[in-house]
A and B are shown apart, each in its own frame.
Chain A
Amino acid sequence: MKVLKKNDRRLKRSSVGKMIRNLFGVLAVLFIIWRLYLVFIVQNNYGPETWTRLLIAGLVIGSVYALIAIGYTLVYGILFMINFAHGEVMMLGSFAGFFVFEATNAINITAADGSVTSLTNAQPVLSIILAFLVGMTFSAMVGFFLEKIAYRPLRKAPRLIPLISAIGASFALQNAALLLFSPQTRNYTNPEFLARGAGWRIMINETAVILPYTGVLTMVLSILLMVGLLLMVKRTRLGKSMRAVAMDKDTAALMGIDVNQTISNTFIISGALAGAAGVMWGLHNGILHYFVGFLPGIKAFTAAVLGGIGNVPGAMLGGMVLGLLEAIGPAALDISFQLKDVIAFVIMIVILVFKPSGILGEVLSEEKV
């Protein structure tokens, strides 16, 4: 066989790539340091009270992102698909919680002293628990049926197919909510003691910084839920079977694990978490409409990838990092708040360029030869 002339022009291309990458990284870091220097040393516009406020806002929004991100990550870990409709599941959960509060508001209870209060205020804890239960249950149901109808038949298909199905589901759920509930913006009526804007007053620099009750509730509850989830994944039978299915479906099936049931359970859990996030969203932010799930959905997906998709602690970390970046980033780098998503995405890209599997993601073995 005739041997053609060899191509000798190829030099060390990979090192050129590495150089560009490093240059990119160094530039990014230098830029950030320069802006931080400007803000903290040269301008120093904001006192500690402002930073505390930003921190609070970042932590609250971060914990909501984290909860939603866990849903993405759980599903991704098992099915390797992006459940694009997850934000819509959250939105529906939020609606369910809203209806609970509307119902408890409508019921009037006459107290012993003759004053009339709504059930929401007479039994605030009960109504909040009820709202969370209903919201989580409803979202879990939506997640369950979503998997059963739109994803299960596609389990063997190439990976892009379920993604498109999920996009379709996202459209369908969003517009179903639009048509059912009208495009009107709704308001959560919180129990009085959880009124939005009310909170503990912390004096910093002789200025009162409000630590809102709803924010604290959101943070505490989401951390509790996340810890609970972690324990469940680590300790319980269900968690073990989830991990087994994530590793290898066929082998897990051979070990006697009901793969379908496990996947359904995963969707139920991720749906329930999204529902909880939805109710928290409503309690903290108050407003609710059919489009409310879209942006947090995209953000939480970003957070999940940032933390290392498929990795539960990673999703939490990613959510928190993203929340803080969004809240503090623009002020800390002295960039317009309009560009906060740009900052978040750029920093995400920088992180991913250097850690291609996210912050906590396992290094995918490059060559499984």
Chain B
Amino acid sequence: MADLIIETKRISKFFGGLTAVNEVDLQIPKGSIYSIIGPNGAGKTTLFNCISGFYVPEIGDILFLGQPIQSRSTDYIASQGISRTYQNIRLFSNLTAMENILVGQHTNLQTTWLDAIVHTPRYVRESQYSHDEAVRLLTYVGLKGLGDYLACNLPYGMQRRLEIGRALANAPKLLLLDEPTAGMNPQETVDMIKLIRMVRDELGISIILIEHDMKVVMDISDRISVLDYGTKIAEGSPKEIQANERVIEAYLGPGGAALADKYQKRRRKHA
């Protein structure tokens, strides 16, 4: 068990009569890049919201490093080391990029408002440290020199990177990425994949990924889970998932497997 970064035990979340997440079990090993895919409305983002504490699942437990976190507040969960990004970017848009990162460091810093007013030595030391760290992080996500831009003035791809930077500022153990490449052009996507790999390899942060771009998913995932109507319908390595008929049916409807086959053939012919 010790090598699991996070584990969900049969968690369910209902909205009125709708079952958004239905008894989902996930076991995610430390240091892995784990993808969750599924058609629109499959409950992927709801699952993320349960993990990060926005929603409390009605049934089931979420264990982060063996500790139950399912009924804890969002900020507590964040302080434990889970960071996330959002499907539609949620930066603090009227703050500068630098400030966004500094806010991200929130749980890592200890000085209080009294320290700030008095400028205690502790505060001075810490603010110098956090400043240096923030500049380092900006460089890390490729935004060097853009720190004084308002977040809303940055181009889309950079906003995505900044959001990841903000999430990393927390020094997380687990990073939840909600469609990090949505709306990006091919070049930006490639850069993003590089960044995600780098985060895992260099910083040793486990990553859970929601993604619609199958190329990305198949490219970087260690393991993949597939959700459909809130239920996990498959789990496995990218290869296994590609071959799984239920998955293809979930995406393309009944008989989808045959359809996909035909399509693949035709494409080969054209090529």
Question: Do A and B have CB atoms closer than 8 angstroms in the complex?
Answer: yes
Give A residues with C-beta under 8 Å from B. 1-4, 6-7, 10, 12-14, 367, 369
Determine if B79 and A1 form an interchain contact, defined as CB atoms under 8 angstroms apart: no
- Enumerate chain A residues within 8 angstroms of B55, measured Cβ to Cβ: 367
Q: How far is the CB of A188 from chain B (nearest CB, A)?
A: 51
- List the 9 closest pairs (A to B, CB-CB), nearest first: A4-B108, A367-B54, A3-B171, A14-B73, A10-B76, A7-B79, A369-B49, A1-B203, A369-B54
Determine if A12 and B72 form an interchain contact, defined as CB atoms under 8 angstroms apart: yes
Determine if A13 and B73 form an interchain contact, defined as CB atoms under 8 angstroms apart: yes
- Enumerate chain B residues within 8 angstroms of A4, measured Cβ to Cβ: 108-109, 171
Digitize B63-101: 1 where CB-to-A-CB distance is under 8 Å, 0 elsewhere.
Answer: 000000000110110011100001000000000000000
- Enumerate chain A residues within 8 angstroms of B45, measured Cβ to Cβ: 369
Cα-based distance from A148 to B55 in the complex (angstroms): 43
- Enumerate chain B residues within 8 angstroms of A10, measured Cβ to Cβ: 75-76, 79
Check: B128 CB closer than 8 A to any chain A CB. no
- Enumerate chain B residues within 8 angstroms of A13, measured Cβ to Cβ: 73, 76
- Enumerate chain B residues within 8 angstroms of A12, measured Cβ to Cβ: 72-73
- Enumerate chain B residues within 8 angstroms of A14, measured Cβ to Cβ: 73
Determine if B79 and A6 form an interchain contact, defined as CB atoms under 8 angstroms apart: yes
Q: How far is the CB of B35 from chain A (nearest CB, A)?
A: 19
Given pairs A7-B107, A10-B79, 15 additional interface contacts (CB within 8 A)? A1-B168, A1-B171, A1-B203, A2-B171, A4-B108, A4-B171, A6-B79, A7-B79, A10-B76, A12-B73, A13-B73, A14-B73, A367-B49, A367-B54, A369-B49
Q: B110: nearest residue on chain A (CB-CB)? A: A7
Cα-based distance from A273 to B86 in the complex (angstroms): 44
Q: How far is the CB of B161 from chain A (nearest CB, A)?
A: 16
Determine if A369 and B73 form an interchain contact, defined as CB atoms under 8 angstroms apart: no
Q: B48: nearest residue on chain A (CB-CB)? A: A369
- Enumerate chain A residues within 8 angstroms of B79, measured Cβ to Cβ: 6-7, 10
- Enumerate chain B residues within 8 angstroms of A6, measured Cβ to Cβ: 79-81, 107
Q: A366: nearest residue on chain B (CB-CB)? A: B54
Q: B107: nearest residue on chain A (CB-CB)? A: A7
- Enumerate chain A residues within 8 angstroms of B76, measured Cβ to Cβ: 10, 13
Cα-based distance from A13 to B133 in the complex (angstroms): 29
- Enumerate chain B residues within 8 angstroms of A369, measured Cβ to Cβ: 45, 49, 54, 86
Can you list 7 contacts pairing A with B, beta carbon distance less than 8 Å? A1-B133, A1-B168, A4-B108, A6-B80, A7-B79, A369-B54, A369-B86
Q: B73: nearest residue on chain A (CB-CB)? A: A14
- Enumerate chain A residues within 8 angstroms of B72, measured Cβ to Cβ: 12
Q: How far is the CB of A16 from chain B (nearest CB, A)?
A: 11
- Enumerate chain A residues within 8 angstroms of B75, measured Cβ to Cβ: 10
Q: How far is the CB of B142 from chain A (nearest CB, A)?
A: 16
Cα-based distance from A353 to B49 in the complex (angstroms): 26
Q: A2: nearest residue on chain B (CB-CB)? A: B171
Cα-based distance from A4 to B171 in the complex (angstroms): 8
Cα-based distance from A10 to B73 in the complex (angstroms): 10
- Enumerate chain A residues within 8 angstroms of B86, measured Cβ to Cβ: 369
Q: How far is the CB of A20 from chain B (nearest CB, A)?
A: 15
Digitize B131-167: 1 where CB-to-A-CB distance is under 8 Å, 0 elsewhere.
Answer: 0010000000000000000000000000000000000
Q: How far is the CB of A160 from chain B (nearest CB, A)?
A: 14
Q: How far is the CB of B210 from chain A (nearest CB, A)?
A: 12
Q: Which residues of B (48-65) have their CB < 8 Å from a CB of A?
A: 49, 54-55
Cα-based distance from A246 to B168 in the complex (angstroms): 39
Q: How far is the CB of A362 from chain B (nearest CB, A)?
A: 14
Most buried by B among A1, A3, A13: A1
Cα-based distance from A254 to B133 in the complex (angstroms): 47
Q: How far is the CB of A270 from chain B (nearest CB, A)?
A: 32
Cα-based distance from A7 to B170 in the complex (angstroms): 12
Q: A1: nearest residue on chain B (CB-CB)? A: B203
Cα-based distance from A1 to B45 in the complex (angstroms): 28
- Enumerate chain A residues within 8 angstroms of B81, measured Cβ to Cβ: 6
- Enumerate chain A residues within 8 angstroms of B80, measured Cβ to Cβ: 6
Digitize B92-127: 1 where CB-to-A-CB distance is under 8 Å, 0 elsewhere.
Answer: 000000000000000111100000000000000000
Cα-based distance from A3 to B171 in the complex (angstroms): 6
Most buried by B among A3, A7, A14, A369: A369
Cα-based distance from A233 to B171 in the complex (angstroms): 52
Cα-based distance from A10 to B81 in the complex (angstroms): 13
Cα-based distance from A13 to B110 in the complex (angstroms): 18
Cα-based distance from A270 to B36 in the complex (angstroms): 50
Cα-based distance from A7 to B76 in the complex (angstroms): 9
Cα-based distance from A170 to B171 in the complex (angstroms): 51
Cα-based distance from A367 to B84 in the complex (angstroms): 15
- Enumerate chain B residues within 8 angstroms of A2, measured Cβ to Cβ: 171
Cα-based distance from A13 to B75 in the complex (angstroms): 10
Q: B75: nearest residue on chain A (CB-CB)? A: A10
Cα-based distance from A369 to B79 in the complex (angstroms): 19
Cα-based distance from A10 to B110 in the complex (angstroms): 12
Cα-based distance from A76 to B34 in the complex (angstroms): 45
